[in-house]
Each structure stands twice: as C-alpha cells, then as structure tokens.
Structure 1
C-alpha cells in the first residue's frame, strides 16, 4: 500500500508539474504578447505626435515607421490558441480564438496598412505627409480593438 501511495503521489506531482508548466508557458506568452502590443502602441502614439506636429522631432519618424512595420507581423503571431487564458490578466477577447478567420483578416489589414505607411514614408518622409497612410493604419488598429480587445 505504501508503495502505491508513493507511485500515486509521484504521478500526481508529474501531472501537476505539467499543469504548472502549461500555465507558465501561457503566462509567458501573454506577457510577451502584451510587450509586443505595447511597443506597437507606443510607436503609434509617438508617430501620431509627429504627424500632428505636436513635437519637432521629425527625424524620429523614420524609426517609428520602421518599428511599426517590424512589429505588425509580430502582432499577428502573438495570439496562439494556448494563450487565451492564464494567470496573467489579458485584454484579449475570447473572440480572437472563437473567430480566427475574422481576427486574421484584421491582422492582415493592419500589416497591409503598416506596409503602406512605410511606402508613404519612403515617398515623402515629412511627418505631415504621412497623415493619410497613418490614419488608415490607425483605423485598422481601432477596428481590431473594437472587436477583439477587452476595454
């Protein structure tokens, strides 16, 4: 009997360890996702200040546009199915995983808009000239947030 208890306890420990590992992996993914999305949001806010002429750092637009273009594809990949829940608070709505085709469509639109923003910058690097492409990019962010981000 004593041996059975040890085997049962050992198996329970392995099982619980696997659960903790899964939860830890999910938590790590949620935290990573939040970092990527916060970085994308930070560059978007900074570029907005430049496009609106609120700050005089026009040369910084290059870096923000490049960062947005680099982060957009990352954003599309930070919502794997096993990261819907964890012990870390998330603002991601279940609809992301319940309606993956609709979510993917939003992500593709955002990536296309970030590419268009980079092309607009290449054509004319003045922040004020970026307004139309930047506005289109921001609309894709808002559309996705409206449908897939908890407020």
Structure 2
C-alpha cells in the first residue's frame, strides 16, 4: 500500500495515524523565511487594530491566530477555526497563555458565527484542501461586518 501523501491528507488529519508528521510539516512551513514574510505582509493588508474581532479559518496549530491576537489585544478577539480536533488540541496547548484567543472546531463551509460578526477574516493555505472552496469564501463573506476585510492566500 502506498504511503499517505502528506499534503493531500490535511482535510482528514484526524483519521490519520501521522498527526505528528502534519504537526512537523506546519512547524517547518512556519519557520521558513518566505512564509514568515507573507504572513507578516498579510497582517499589514488586514489593517489590524486593537479591539477588532478576527476569524482565522484553518488555524492549524494556532501560531498565526496567536500572532493576530497579539495585534488586536487587549480588547480584541481572535477565533481560530479548524476541522481537526487534533490540531485544535495542539493549538490550545501551545497558546494557553494567550489572551483574547479561542479555538472552535468547525467546517469553513458552515461557520458557527452570526452574520456580520467579525471585522477581519484570514484564510491561509486552506482553500486548496476544501471541497467547494467557493462555499467557504461565501461563508467568510457572510460573517464579515460591512467594510470588513477578507484575505485569502493559497500558494499551491
């Protein structure tokens, strides 16, 4: 039986026996200069301010959600959502001391947020893993407040 192709397995991390491999992959990507640079640029493009409510769709290990929370603290709030309960458990463990940060297990195509309830939404390297990515974008637009900003980045 062929080995599981890691990049194709992200939509179903919880069914895999290789969770540690997915974690190492995300850690490696987060450490690379290219990824660090575009993530910093995305924060600038989002025009983040203290007190905003931010939605990070596909938060994985929570590192980016924590960085966003640092920018909107102390009155702001960041919600990191992911489909994987395993990745969310790791995100919660890594960011336990962070203020204004909450993680929610959810499908990007059916967000558990009220319409017009967030100021900014960020989707980073997630759309490639979602069946019907347009539905996820529609959901992100639904929860954005008027004048809100949606930033989506997918390099694959």
* TM-score scaled by length of structure 1: 0.29
Q: Which has the higher contact order (CA 8 A, sep 6+)?
A: 1
Greater helix fraction, Structure 1 or Structure 2: 1
Greater Rg over alpha carbons, structure: 1
Greater strand fraction, Structure 1 or Structure 2: 2
